[in-house]
Structure 1
Amino acid sequence: MTSESARELVAVFGGSFNPPHIAHVMTVLVVLSTHPVDRVVVIPTFAHPFAKQLAPYEDRVRMIELAMAGIARVEISRIEETLGGESRTLRTLEHLQSEHPSWNLRLVMGADVLAETPKWYAFDRIAKIAPPIVLGRAGFESSAAPTPILPAISSTDIRAKVGQGRWSDLEPIVPRTVLEYIREHALYEHGH
């Protein structure tokens, strides 16, 4: 039996990261510096449950690795690829829980994502397994939302700007190494 003191508090941060941007990096840094977590596990979505078009999985994994490089206590997990099929938060958390019984899980999400949870499958069970850490995001106002600390940066807007060749607009909001990767691999040339 694992004693409570030997348990690790692990924050789980999932997303399509299509592409990752500085608000994703800031999210990880905020969680690590304001919550007593031992580590953050970043999980790129394998196949989006709402059938969104995504850049190839390998490219998104590589971009999030580049974005998070150099941040201590962060690991990128390919668990959703291992599980296969459509990504479901509940299935991912249940798998993490069974694979790592010594982990106490918390689910990291922006207030804008929290507003979408009624559409999620079994969010009440998700919240029981991994109580959410909710971070406020600029441009999203709600009585349930905490004070905005994350900038209003959208991957959708980033993809559109790449498609328009507006690289200078992207320099302040996308990690340099990620922008280089996008250019080198000709991702999002058509804005999606």
Structure 2
Amino acid sequence: MRVALFGGSFNPPHLGHQLLAFYVLETAAVDELWFIPCWKHPFDKDLESFTHRFRMTELAAAALGPRARVSDIESRLGGEKSRTLLTIKGLQALHPEHEFFLVMGADLVPELPSWYGSEELRRSVPLLVVGRGGYPGQFPLCMPMVSSTEIRNRLHKGQSVQGLVCISVLAYISEQGLYGPSSDDET
């Protein structure tokens, strides 16, 4: 099976993430796309708990149908920081029968040489580069201007995020009291 891997903080997952996932599923000749919420951000950004981010990502993936799944590989690997190379190696060891591809925004490609084990990463998995933020990619998707940071800031100020996150994720955020004015999350 051909599997696209889409890693991120998903803090929270938003419609831009879903649109990118749908686009990859429909254009990249893959059988499935696996969202991979990071365990610990490699640059020490404050994140909502892995449990909440994983659940919200499950809700976002469910809206895309059975070809979109969420992997907890990074929580199982643990560690002080998430490292894409270690995640890929872990998945390849668990699923040697699958062919993996790494989804990456074109805006991140210039940063790739600074990533942990970047040369080995590039040898280990083909990249599916999606255009983003004025950077062209092999897949010319025009992404909406939405970010998790903007969503968290709006929620913290008590502003609406309707139309930026799917209804099920918005309901979960509300039920759990995430990112709101009483939340400790300032990022």
- TM-score with structure 1 setting the length: 0.88
| Residues 48, 87 of structure 1: 8 Å contact kept | yes
* 102-111 or 11-20, which deviates more: 102-111
Matches within 5 A, 1:119-134: 119-134=114-129
Q: Aligned AA for 1:19?
A: P
How far is 1:136 from its partner?
1.2
| RMSD of Structure 2 on Structure 1 (CA) | 1.6
Q: Which runs of 5+ in 2 are unaligned?
A: none
| Residues 32, 39 of structure 1: 8 Å contact kept | yes
- Residues of 1 paired with 2:37 and 2:140: CA distance? 26
How far is 1:142 from its partner?
3.5
Are 2:73 and 1:79 aligned? Answer: yes
* 112-121 or 124-133, which deviates more: 112-121
Are 2:31 and 1:31 aligned? Answer: no
How far is 1:115 from its partner?
3.2
Residue number in structure 2 paired with 1:4: none
- Residues of 2 paired with 1:55 and 1:182: CA distance? 11
Residue number in structure 1 paired with 2:164: 173
The structure 1 segments of at least 4 consecutive aligned residues displaced by more than 4 Å after TM superposition are 143-146
- Residues of 1 paired with 2:135 and 2:53: CA distance? 30
| Residues 105, 129 of structure 1: 8 Å contact kept | no
How far is 1:123 from its partner?
1.7
* Equivalent in 37, 42, 54 of residue 44 of structure 1: 37
How far is 1:26 from its partner?
0.8
Structure 1 residues 17-52: Cα deviation after superposition (integer angstroms, max 9, x where no partner): 000000111111111100111111111101111101
Q: Aligned AA for 1:111?
A: A
Residue number in structure 2 paired with 1:93: 88
- Residues of 2 paired with 1:25 and 1:51: CA distance? 25
How far is 1:145 from its partner?
7.3
- Residues of 2 paired with 1:21 and 1:88: CA distance? 23
Q: Aligned AA for 1:159?
A: R
* 71-80 or 108-117, which deviates more: 108-117
* Equivalent in 7, 19, 38 of residue 12 of structure 2: 19
- Residues of 1 paired with 2:14 and 2:6: CA distance? 14
Say if 1:177 and 1:88 are closer, same or farther in 2 by CA, change over 3 A.
Answer: same
SS of the residue corresponding to residue 13 of structure 1 reads strand
Q: Which runs of 5+ in 1 are unaligned?
A: 1-7
| Residues 23, 150 of structure 1: 8 Å contact kept | yes
- TM-score with structure 2 setting the length: 0.90
Residue number in structure 2 paired with 1:184: 175
Q: Aligned AA for 1:177?
A: S
How far is 1:63 from its partner?
0.3
Structure 1 residues 66-111: Cα deviation after superposition (integer angstroms, max 9, x where no partner): 1111422121111111101121100010111111111111001112
SS of the residue corresponding to residue 119 of structure 2 reads helix
How far is 1:116 from its partner?
2.6
Q: Aligned AA for 1:186?
A: G
Q: Aligned AA for 1:12?
A: L
- Residues of 2 paired with 1:142 and 1:35: CA distance? 19
How far is 1:57 from its partner?
0.6
